[in-house]
């Protein structure tokens, strides 16, 4: 184990002991804010410290077995000592890897809800149909994880599907699982209107925006906003379509435009649109910082052109290829039915490997 990692673990262990003592103090228990903050820190540290202590116990076991091997002359005892040494070294290697993963810098947005935006790019009507396919894929994945789904706005395509759809997904660790979906998704298939059986290529862009919380939500000056109301164009009943309940908000300094037309109440639509606007402004500021640091490039969203892609869905061959990690799976139907972990798990593992490599260089 690297000395810098050991020193960090020792400091975390000291902090864990300190928190354990503080949580037992009556004055801390009487302060709800402080008690909640310390409890959250305790919960975050607990698995790391448990692994660290198991590692230290295994290290002691290894030292004792090595000493026994040197001191003993009995062949049977020496054989047992060698077996213990081999087993403990394997355990230590596994525990050190686990500790490295647990010490990786955690994305502060990983536990947040998200706004997922899907837009048709190159391909016209076929791209709009593919937006509908992606919407269904993400909806089923969310349902499998028991996350809550809310449609914020949608713009139907002329021949089905959607030109654009924005949905909010709420639940535990939503952003940590779906953040790698941001980018351009390409589809290759034969459209129903294609009489010659030729394969067409279309593209959609997916944006994944973490919901802004009270801490990092940007204070928006009302004078910087233009708010328009209009009649909802989507489904929702006669009442929705005959009143100006839908809301469009334009943030003048950045040119960011958001819409919400899902609720019958103009007040509710405005509140949801403002929350989406905050998320988009936050995402824009983060993208600017990332670009300046030349980091997290595999998470950035392209323009929607066919040549910029993170993933290709090939219907004739029944395959899905994620170009960032050169992964190809012939499980198109499973993935479109919401079994996205087949792709997300390898992406998470690759991201961890990249972070570990960066840690090794520091």
Q: Which of 14-18, 285-289, 345-349 has the lowest mean pLDDT?
A: 285-289
Q: In which order are the strands placed within the sheet that holds 256-260?
A: 225-230, 246-251, 256-260
Structural domain contains residue 361? no
Q: Are residues 257 and 147 in the same domain?
A: yes
215 has a pLDDT exceeding 60: no
Q: Which of 71, 103, 135 is the last residue of a domain?
A: 103
Tell me, yes or no, if the pTM score tops 0.85: no
Q: Which of 57, 81, 103 is the last residue of a domain?
A: 103
Residue 259 DSSP symbol: E
Tell which wins on pLDDT, 52 or 305. 52
Q: Are residues 264 and 236 in the same domain?
A: yes
Q: Are residues 179 and 216 in the same domain?
A: yes
Mean pLDDT, residues 194-222 taken together = 78
Mean pLDDT, residues 314-328 taken together = 94
Q: Are 329 and 341 in contact (CB under 8 A)?
A: no
Q: Which residue in 208, 219, 121 sits closest to 168, CA to CA?
A: 208
Distance CA 273, CA 259 (A): 6
217 has a pLDDT exceeding 60: no
Q: Are residues 312 and 193 in the same domain?
A: yes
Q: Are residues 56 and 159 in the same domain?
A: no
Q: Are residues 147 and 246 in the same domain?
A: yes
Determine the Cα angle at 347 with ends 209 and 174, to 5°.
35
CATH label of the domain that carries residue 348? 3.30.70.1660
Query: How many structural domains does the chain have?
Result: 2
Structural domain contains residue 357? no
CATH label of the domain that carries residue 82? 1.20.58
Q: Which of 103, 137, 172 is the last residue of a domain?
A: 103
pLDDT of residue 214: 55
Give residue 55's domain range.
Answer: 3-103
Q: Are residues 184 and 329 in the same domain?
A: yes
Task: Give tens-digit pLDDT for 226-258.
Answer: 888 877 655 444 444 456 678 888 888 888 888
> What's the token pair of residue 104?
């990786």
Q: Are residues 184 and 290 in the same domain?
A: yes
Task: Give tens-digit pLDDT for 94-110.
Answer: 998 888 888 887 777 88
Task: Give tens-digit pLDDT for 60-96.
Answer: 999 999 999 998 888 899 999 999 999 999 999 999 8
pLDDT of residue 124: 86
Task: Give tens-digit pLDDT for 276-298.
Answer: 888 888 777 766 765 654 444 44
3-state secondary structure of 189: strand
């Amino acid at each position: 184990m690297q000395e810098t990692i050991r020193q960090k673990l020792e400091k975390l262990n000291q902090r864990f002991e300190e928190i354990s003592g503080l949580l037992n103090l009556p004055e801390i228990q009487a302060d709800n804010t402080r008690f909640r903050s310390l409890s959250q820190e305790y919960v975050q540290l607990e698995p790391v410290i448990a692994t660290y202590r198991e590692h230290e116990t295994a290290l002691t076991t290894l030292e004792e077995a090595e000493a026994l091997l040197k001191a003993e002359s009995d062949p049977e005892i020496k054989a047992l000592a060698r077996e213990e040494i081999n087993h403990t070294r394997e355990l230590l290697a596994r525990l050190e890897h686990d500790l490295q993963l647990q010490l990786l810098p955690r994305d502060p947005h990983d536990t947040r809800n998200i706004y997922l935006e899907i837009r048709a790019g190159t391909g016209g009507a076929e791209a709009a149909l593919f937006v509908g396919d992606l919407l269904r894929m993400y909806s089923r994945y969310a349902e499998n994880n028991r996350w809550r789904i809310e449609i914020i706005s949608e713009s139907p395509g002329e021949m089905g599907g959607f030109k654009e759809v924005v949905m909010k997904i709420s639940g535990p660790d939503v952003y940590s699982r779906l953040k790698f979906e941001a980018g351009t998704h390409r589809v290759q298939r034969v459209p129903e209107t294609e009489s010659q059986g030729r394969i067409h290529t279309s593209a959609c862009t997916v944006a994944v925006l973490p919901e802004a919380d009270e801490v990092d939500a940007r204070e928006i000056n009302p004078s910087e906003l233009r708010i328009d109301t209009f009649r909802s164009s989507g489904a929702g009943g006669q009442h929705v379509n005959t009143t100006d309940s839908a809301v469009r908000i334009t943030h003048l300094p950045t040119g960011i435009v958001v819409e919400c037309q899902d609720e019958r109440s103009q007040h509710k639509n405005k509140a949801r649109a403002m929350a989406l606007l905050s998320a988009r402004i936050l995402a824009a500021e983060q993208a600017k910082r990332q670009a300046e640091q030349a980091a997290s490039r595999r998470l950035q969203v392209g323009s929607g052109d066919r040549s910029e892609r993170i993933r290709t869905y090939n219907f004739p061959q029944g395959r899905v290829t994620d170009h960032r990690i050169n992964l190809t799976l012939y499980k198109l139907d499973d993935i479109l039915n919401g079994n996205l972990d087949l792709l997300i798990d390898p992406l998470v593992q690759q991201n961890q490997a990249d972070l570990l490599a960066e840690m090794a260089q520091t």
